[in-house]
Structure 1
Amino acid sequence: MPTPFDPRLTPANPRVAAAHLRGVVTAQNYVQGHEKMIAVPCADLLSAPHGRRERQLLLGERVTMYEERAGWAFVQADRDGYVGYLPFGQLEERRPATHWVINRASHLYNDPDFKSHELMSLSMGSQFRVIGESGRFYETPLGYVPKPHLAPLDRLARDPVEVAERYLGVPYLWGGNSIWGIDCSGLVQAACVACAIPCPGDSDLQEASLGRLLPEDKKLRRGDLLFWKGHVGLVAGRGMLLHANAYHMAVAFEPIDEAIARIKAQGDGPVTSRRRLPARKSAP
């Protein structure tokens, strides 16, 4: 299927394409799509049915579904425009969200009682519609979440590095976007999105679009990004890099100079660019 667009971000396959792509890509049908949202704690977004994981989507995240075929849904994520496949049963009808999980992790409970049985585990970034309060819990259509773990969607984080630090020790997972596993670009995306900084899902897309390029003679500061071919990390200050990496197999701090030397020595080349994120919005 010839297309001038990045296939990761183009809602089209040989059978179906988004209506706005008519005349641009070739498909049997062109559709408007249906608004859905993720109904499970963490869903793998795959390259094809039963294919490779490309990214992950969290509970409550919104997608547009363009096709349902043989139990698989072809979707595009609202968060970053990424497209892929996931089981249709992992979707439900979209409803407005009001709050998001700001804690590293939480649980959804059957009752507003810490001793009640948990219904599911939650990753930071999951979204809910709060419909009431009961003591120390918020009530949602799915169950109860501890109040300290939720905040209104418009309550933004101020510092991407502080957000990324909440993932310290999380296992490295290629294509991961949750506290159960995350990769380098997933960590940067989580940190940026929490601060209302639009951010693509992969490091090459981040390098092409995030913030502004820093000259080599410009001193690095906390929150800057270092890019390699296929890798990205956050400058944490004090000469340290914070990144999800396969060397530590986790989100970890590493001295910047040591990381640069190690990555070059292992055959992945030098730093390709240094970028500075835009100013963050203040939290209310």
Structure 2
Amino acid sequence: MSDHRLTPANARVALSGHALNGQAEVTPMRYTISLPVADLRASPGGARDRQLLWGEGFDVLELRDGWAFGIAARDGYVGYVEEADLERERTPTHTISARATHLYPRDDFKTEAVTSLAFGSRIKVVDERRKFVEIEGGLFVPKAHVRPIGRPFSDPVTIAQIFFGTPYLWGGNSAFGIDCSGTVQAGLLACGVMCPGDSDMQMSLGSEATGGYRRGDLLFWKGHVAMCVDAEVLIHANAHHMAVAYEPIERAITRIEAQGDGPVAAHRRV
């Protein structure tokens, strides 16, 4: 049975070259997420699989009954977003590099913010002021909170640590709520390392680790992933703390097995 998360086809349409049962083959049209956070769902109105952030690309294969079926540009994850959450493509130039920031109507932090954006959101900068950048659409972002897209970070653990204390949210991908695989993906993507969206997919990353725990190593359980901060401590979004939290590695291993989720299934080095 095909995995809906990776299969760019539904009952009616398929990405060119991926038709399975006589679907119409289509060429995708690139759109951009126009909300701070948009849910990516398994079916129209169905359960949330993941989330997409402001400015991220979404390659639409079909628009139907208020829903867009397509492919997330960042990792190839397939699903549905509400058509109202999309706008025509804007080519981003910068990414939000702080845990979260605000969009302002003027280049003045005393004005009332219009909305908030999370780390990893993508923006198109059209002008620079002394302390702000202006983005397409006439809104302003603090200059200290943006980074050119062509300048990836170097340490995924440092990025994961940005999310420390963020509330746990199943399927979440933002500073407003995130889960274990979302935390790992945010860290790796920010450093230019391709990374899928769910922990079972992420288990194929890197190679089997040997020689103890190192910074950046990934530990996997059934349905869960954590990132090693050093040889003794890991960081992970988890439902036990209901947040992104630090935890001693051996304590986490014991606790997770005791709660019925089994031993460590894999130890990978990316």
Short-chain TM bin: over 0.9
- Which of 233, 236, 246 is 1:253 aligned to? 246
Contact 1:12 1:27 in 2 (8 A): no
Unaligned runs of 5+ in 1: 278-284
Q: How does 1:11-30 map to 2 (within 5 A)?
A: 11-22=8-19, 25-30=20-25
Q: How does 1:119-134 map to 2 (within 5 A)?
A: 119-134=114-129
Q: How does 1:261-272 map to 2 (within 5 A)?
A: 261-272=254-265
Q: Aligned pair 1:273/2:270, yes or no?
A: no
Q: What amino acid sits opposite 1:8 in the alignment?
A: R
CA distance in 2, matches of 1:67, 1:117: 37
Normalised to the residue count of structure 2, the TM-score between the two structures is 0.97
Provide the residue aligned with 1:191 in structure 2.
Answer: 187
Compute the displacement of 1:118 (Å): 1.1
Compute the displacement of 1:86 (Å): 1.1
> Aligned with 1:20: secondary structure?
coil
- Which of 99, 108, 112 is 2:103 aligned to? 108
Superposition RMSD on alpha carbons, in Å? 1.0
- Which of 236, 241, 253 is 2:229 aligned to? 236
- Which of 200, 211, 217 is 1:224 aligned to? 217
Compute the displacement of 1:187 (Å): 0.3
> Aligned with 1:131: secondary structure?
strand
1:230-280 CA-partner distances (Å, limit 9, x unpaired) = 100000115011000000000000010010000001110000110111xxx
Provide the residue aligned with 2:47 in structure 1.
Answer: 52
Runs of 4+ in 1 over 4 A off after TM superposition: none
Task: Go from structure 1 to structure 2 and tell me whether the alpha carbon gap of 1:222 and 1:69 turns closer, same or farther (over 3 Å shift).
Answer: same
CA distance in 2, matches of 1:171, 1:20: 40
Counting matched residue pairs gives 269
CA distance in 2, matches of 1:82, 1:191: 17
Unaligned runs of 5+ in 2: none
Contact 2:125 2:136 in 1 (8 A): yes
1:18-68 CA-partner distances (Å, limit 9, x unpaired) = 11213xx11431111211110110000011111100000000000100111
> Aligned with 1:60: secondary structure?
coil
- Which of 164, 169, 173 is 1:173 aligned to? 169
Provide the residue aligned with 1:70 in structure 2.
Answer: 65
> Aligned with 1:84: secondary structure?
strand
Compute the displacement of 1:117 (Å): 2.0
Q: What amino acid sits opposite 1:172 in the alignment?
A: Y
Q: What amino acid sits opposite 2:73 in the alignment?
A: D
CA distance in 2, matches of 1:27, 1:101: 42
